[in-house]
Structure 1
Amino acid sequence: MDLDAWLPRAAALRPDHPALVTGDRDVTTYAELHAAARRAAAALAASGVGPGDRVAVSLPPDVPFVATLHAVLGLGATFVPLDARLSDAERAQRAAGAAATVAEPLDAGRAERPLAARLDPDAVATLLHTSGTTAAPKPVALTVSNWQWNALGSALALGLDRDERWLCTLPLSHVGGLSILIRSAIYGTTVVLHERFDADRAARALAADGITLVSLVATTLRRTLDAGLDRPPRLRCALIGGGPLPPTLAARAADAGIPAAQTYGMTEACSQVTTSLPGEPETAGRALVGQRVALADDGEILVAGETVAPGAPAADGWLHTGDLGRLDARGRLTVTGRKADTIVSGGENVAPQEVEAALLEHRAVADAGVHARPDPEWGEAVVATVVVRDGHAAGEPLAAELREHVAARLARFKVPKRIDFAAELPRTASGKLLRRQLR
C-alpha cells in the first residue's frame, strides 16, 4: 500500500508551521518549502530525472538541500547526499551512476512540478554511505518504508510534541543528520538546522531557541557543556549516539538539567535501533517498535526488522553489526565495543571503549582514544592517545597518573602500556572516533 508523500502532506496540514529554521533564525514554512521543492522538481525533471534514477547532491545544509531532497523523493528518484569535504575523486566515486549531480541550488524560475502525492514503500529513497570508522565507507540503500518505520519507532521511543523543534548539527550526508530532516517532515514539526557543529552556537540555541530535541555524540555533548550549557528551558531529550555515553559525562549532563537518552544505531538500520528513556541513559535502551535485537554466541549484536536495509541481512536473516554488547533482563542493550577493535593483549581481550571511559573520568582528560599497537611481548599492547584539558600539562608525570587512575578502576591488563598526547583526535564529521587512524 502506498504512503502519503511526506512534504505534501505536512504542507497540506500545517502550511504556516515552521519547517526549517536556518542561518540567523530564518524561518521557512511548510508551504514555502513545498513550493521550493516543486521548483526543484521542475528543474530536475527538465534535466531528465525520473523514477528510479539516482540524484547526487552536494549542497550546504540549508533550504535548497532540503527542497532538493523532497523534490527527488517526489519524482520517485533516489537521493544520494555527498559530503562536501570529500575530494573530487571521492565525490565522483559516490556519484557514479547518478542521472544528475546537484552542486548549486536548483533554479527553475517560476516553473513548478507537482510532487507525487503517494510514495511506494519499496522504492529506494536514499543511498547513504557508512561513516567508515573501521573500514572503507560502503553504500546502503534505504527504502521509503525503512524511513517511515524509523520515524514511527523514534516517536514512540521519545514521544512527540506537535511543537517539536529538533536541533540538527550533524552532517546531512550522515544517516543521523538526514534522519532528523525526514522524521520531522513525516511528523510536520520543525528542524533548527546549523551548518556545522559549533559548541557555543549549539549552547545558545538550546538556551534561547526553544529546542525540544537535539542529537549529539558524547564528544559534542561534552563540548556543549564546556561552553556553559545549563538547564535548557524546553529541552526534553538529548539523544546521544555514535558510541557509548561515559557514566561521568551522563552524570554531568544530569547535573546541568539535560535529560539524556543513549541510542544505538547504524546506517544499515536507518539510524536508531535502540533508545533509552530520556533521563535514563545508563544503557542504550530497548529495541524500537518494528525491530529486534539479539546477541550471537560471541556477543555480536544482531538486528532485524522493518528499518533494516533490504540488502543488509546475512543469509540467516540478521544484520551482523560487528558491534559487541550485552542485554539485561529487561531487554536493554549495552554496547561494549567493536569486534574489530578488540585488543588481545597477553591473551586477554580488552575493549578500547572501556579504557576510554576510565580515562575520561580524570579531570585532566578532554578526549581519549585507545587502540592496539604490535608488541613482541604481549602480541598487542594497549595504547592511549589523550587530549589534555586547558590548565593541565601533558607529559610523563600526567601519563603515570593516568595509568594509576585506570588501574584503580580496571584490571591491570587493561591499563595502557603507553599514553601519548595530541591536540585533537581524528573524528568523523558526526563525531565518531576514527580509531584506525590512531598509531
Structure 2
Amino acid sequence: MHPIQHAQTRPDDPAVIMAGSGVTITFGEMEAEANRFAHLLRARGFKPDDAFAVLLENRIEYFTLIWGSQRAGTLLVPISTRLTAPEIAYILHDSEAKLLITSRAFAGVMPAVRAACPDLPVLVMDGSGEEDFAAALADQPATPIVDQSAGVVMLYSSGTTGRPKGIRPKPPEDPDPQAPVPLVALASFGAGMPGDGSMIYLSPAPLYHAAPIGWCSTVHRLGGTIVVMEKFDPEAALAAIEKYRVTDSQWVPTHFVRMLKLPPEIRTKYDLSSHQRALHAAAPCPVEIKREMIEWWGPIVNEYYAGSESIGMTMVRSPDWLAHPGTVGRAIYGKLHICGPDGEELPAGQDGLIYFENEILPSYHKDPEKTAEAMHPKGWMTLGDIGHVDEEGFLYLTDRKSHMIISGGVNIYPQEIENLLVTHDKVMDAAVIGAPDPDLGEKVVAVVQPVDMAEAGEALEQELRAFLEPQLARIKMPRLFDFRPDLPREANGKLYKRELRDEYAAKAKENA
C-alpha cells in the first residue's frame, strides 16, 4: 500500500488536515505536489542518496517533502526547530545537505545559518524571489519522474547527551517506492491500525521527530487521514479528537501529564467516543500516569518502545499492561537481549543494557566509533537504555545509561524519582540530574516546574520531600530542589538534561 495507489483510487479523500486552521490536502493533490517536488529535486541536480534538510514548523507542505523525497531516492534530513544556529549549521555540514527548505518562521535564526553555510541553496515557504518554495514547485510538472526510487529519512539524535549524530539507515533492498516497509505490518498486526481508509489519526507532536514522521508515513500507506496539530495544547488535543472524530493517535508521556492536569470540567467536556487506539512512546511513562489514562480513556492506551535507529520494537496493549504494570511490552520486531557490563546475557529480573538483534541495523553517519560503541560483540545494537525482562518476556525500562547518577558510590537512576514527582498535584514537570559534589562525587538535584510558579519555594520543597520520603531510599532523595517556570524539553518529549548538567557543572567550577 502507498499514497500513489490511494491517489488513483480515492483522489478526493483527505490525506492531511491541519487541526487548527482546517487546511486540507487530498490524496490526489498530495500526489501531484509530491511529483512536483521530485521533479524539483531532479532539476536541481539531486541524485538518489543526495541529502536535503528541512527546518519547518508543523505545516501541510511537510508531506509534499516527505513523499516527494520518498520517490526521488533522496535523504530527507529533518532539523529540530528548537536548535540554535550553530547546531543547525552543524547538521547541515555533517549531513552534506545540498539544499535547505525552511519558512519565514525561522527568519530570526537564518542570518546566522546562512553565514555559517554561505554556499548552501535555500528555499523559503512564504518567501519571495528566487528562494520562494511555492514558485519553484509550481514550475514543475505534476506527473511522476521517470526514475522513481525509494528515499529514506536520515534522523539526527536529539543531542540530549552531546553532539547529535545522523542515523544512517540501510538503503531499501527494493528500490520501488511502493515496496512494503516493516512499520506497516507492525502498525497493522501490532497496533491494530486498519488499512481500509477509515483511520483518522491525530499527530500532536512536531513532524521533524522520528515517531511523527514514521507513524504519519505509515498512516498514509494504510490510506488513513492525518490530523496535524500546529502545536500541542492539552485542551486543543481533546477538541481535535471530538471535531475530527479521531480514531487513532500517538503521544508522549508529557502529553498525558498535561492533559491529566486539566481541570475536571475541561477533561470531561469533549466527546472522545470515536477514539479507538492511542499509542505512546519516547520516554518511560510513570505507572500512575498510565493507569490514570487507562481509567480515563479506557483500555485503548497502547505503548511501544523503539528508537530513531529502528533496530527493534516492543509493544504492549492495555490489558497486558494492567497485568504487568510498568512494562513496555514484548518484542514484536527484533530479538531482545539484556546484557551486563562484560556483554554477558543476564537472567530475567536483572537490569542491564538493552540490545536488539536484527538483520537490518543502521550506522551513525561519519562516526564509526559511535557505531562501534552501540554494538555488542555478537552483532546486536543498543539505544543506550537500561532495563530488564521478566519471566514472560515483558521488558521494563529503568533509565538511560547516560543519565545514571553516582552518588557516594551508589548508582541512582533518576527516572524513578522523576516518575514520582510528576504524580504530585502541584508538579507539571521534573528533571532529576547529578550535580558535582566535593564529598559525594555527585548529588541528586531535582529541577521542578510547578503547576503554579507562585507556589515555588521552601514550603513546596518541604511538601515534595514529605511526598517522596516514604517512597525513596534516603540516598535517592534530592539534596537540592530548583524551581523553574519551564524545563529544556523538546516538543517531542525529550528532555535536554545535558543543558541542566552543564549549567550545574559550570556553577560548581565557578565556586571551586
Q: Could you state the TM-score of these two structures normalised by the residue count of structure 2?
A: 0.78
Match of 1:77 in 2: 74
Task: Provide closer, same or farther for how the CA distance between residues 112 and 207 of structure 1 changes in structure 2, counting only shifts above 3 A.
Answer: closer
Distance in structure 2 (CA, Å) of the matches to 1:116 and 1:65? 23
Query: Which deviates more, 184-193 or 385-394?
Result: 385-394
Within the candidate set 4, 8, 33, 2:4 is matched to 8
Within the candidate set 169, 180, 184, 1:151 is matched to 184
Match of 1:57 in 2: 54
Residue 417 of structure 1: CA displacement? 1.6
Match of 2:442 in 1: 380
Distance in structure 2 (CA, Å) of the matches to 1:117 and 1:27? 29
Spell out, residue by residue over 1:6-48, the C-alpha distance to the aligned partner (whole angstroms, 9 max, x if none): 3313323433332111252233221111011112222222111
Match of 2:261 in 1: 226
Distance in structure 2 (CA, Å) of the matches to 1:336 and 1:428? 21
Higher alpha-carbon Rg: 2
Task: Provide closer, same or farther for how the CA distance between residues 115 and 198 of structure 1 changes in structure 2, counting only shifts above 3 A.
Answer: farther
Question: Does 1:251 pair with 2:313?
Answer: no
Within the candidate set 174, 179, 183, 2:209 is matched to 174
Match of 1:99 in 2: 98
Question: Does 1:108 pair with 2:153?
Answer: no
Residue 336 of structure 1: CA displacement? 0.5
Match of 2:431 in 1: 369
Task: Show the 5 A alignment for 1:17-416.
Answer: 17-22=13-18, 23-96=20-93, 97-103=96-102, 104=124, 105-106=133-134, 107-109=137-139, 111-115=141-145, 119=149, 125-143=152-170, 145=172, 148-161=181-194, 162=196, 163-227=198-262, 228-230=266-268, 232-258=272-298, 259-269=300-310, 273-278=313-318, 280-281=320-321, 282=325, 283-288=327-332, 290-298=333-341, 299-305=352-358, 308-309=361-362, 314=375, 315-390=377-452, 393-416=455-478
Residue 144 of structure 1: CA displacement? 6.1
Distance in structure 2 (CA, Å) of the matches to 1:81 and 1:430? 13
Distance in structure 2 (CA, Å) of the matches to 1:395 and 1:319? 44
Distance in structure 1 (CA, Å) of the matches to 2:287 and 2:389? 18
Q: CA RMSD in A?
A: 2.5
* Alpha carbons 1:53, 1:98 under 8 Å: kept: yes
Distance in structure 2 (CA, Å) of the matches to 1:189 and 1:407? 48
Residue 209 of structure 1: CA displacement? 1.6
* Alpha carbons 1:373, 1:381 under 8 Å: kept: yes
Distance in structure 2 (CA, Å) of the matches to 1:327 and 1:20? 39
Stretches of structure 2 that go unaligned for 5 or more consecutive residues are 103-123, 125-132, 174-179, 342-351, 365-370, 505-512
Task: Provide closer, same or farther for how the CA distance between residues 293 and 14 of structure 1 changes in structure 2, counting only shifts above 3 A.
Answer: farther
Distance in structure 1 (CA, Å) of the matches to 2:359 and 2:191? 18
Query: Which deviates more, 66-75 or 299-308?
Result: 299-308
Aligned residue identity for 2:358: G
Aligned residue identity for 1:191: I
Aligned residue identity for 2:295: D
* Alpha carbons 1:158, 1:278 under 8 Å: kept: no
Task: Provide closer, same or farther for how the CA distance between residues 81 and 75 of structure 1 changes in structure 2, counting only shifts above 3 A.
Answer: same
Residue 306 of structure 1: CA displacement? 5.4
Residue 82 of structure 1: CA displacement? 2.4
Spell out, residue by residue over 1:217-267, the C-alpha distance to the aligned partner (whole angstroms, 9 max, x if none): 111112123343446212222222121111221122123225322222211
Task: Provide closer, same or farther for how the CA distance between residues 310 and 377 of structure 1 changes in structure 2, counting only shifts above 3 A.
Answer: closer
* Alpha carbons 2:75, 2:153 under 8 Å: kept: yes
Query: Which deviates more, 56-65 or 44-53?
Result: 56-65
Aligned residue identity for 2:41: L
Task: Provide closer, same or farther for how the CA distance between residues 308 and 171 of structure 1 changes in structure 2, counting only shifts above 3 A.
Answer: farther
* Alpha carbons 1:15, 1:30 under 8 Å: kept: yes
Distance in structure 2 (CA, Å) of the matches to 1:144 and 1:169? 29
Distance in structure 1 (CA, Å) of the matches to 2:288 and 2:490? 23
* Alpha carbons 1:72, 1:79 under 8 Å: kept: yes
Count the aligned residue pairs. 430
The runs of 4+ residues in structure 1 deviating greater than 6 Å are none
Residue 57 of structure 1: CA displacement? 2.3
Stretches of structure 1 that go unaligned for 5 or more consecutive residues are none
* Alpha carbons 2:433, 2:446 under 8 Å: kept: yes
Aligned residue identity for 1:148: V
Task: Provide closer, same or farther for how the CA distance between residues 73 and 368 of structure 1 changes in structure 2, counting only shifts above 3 A.
Answer: same
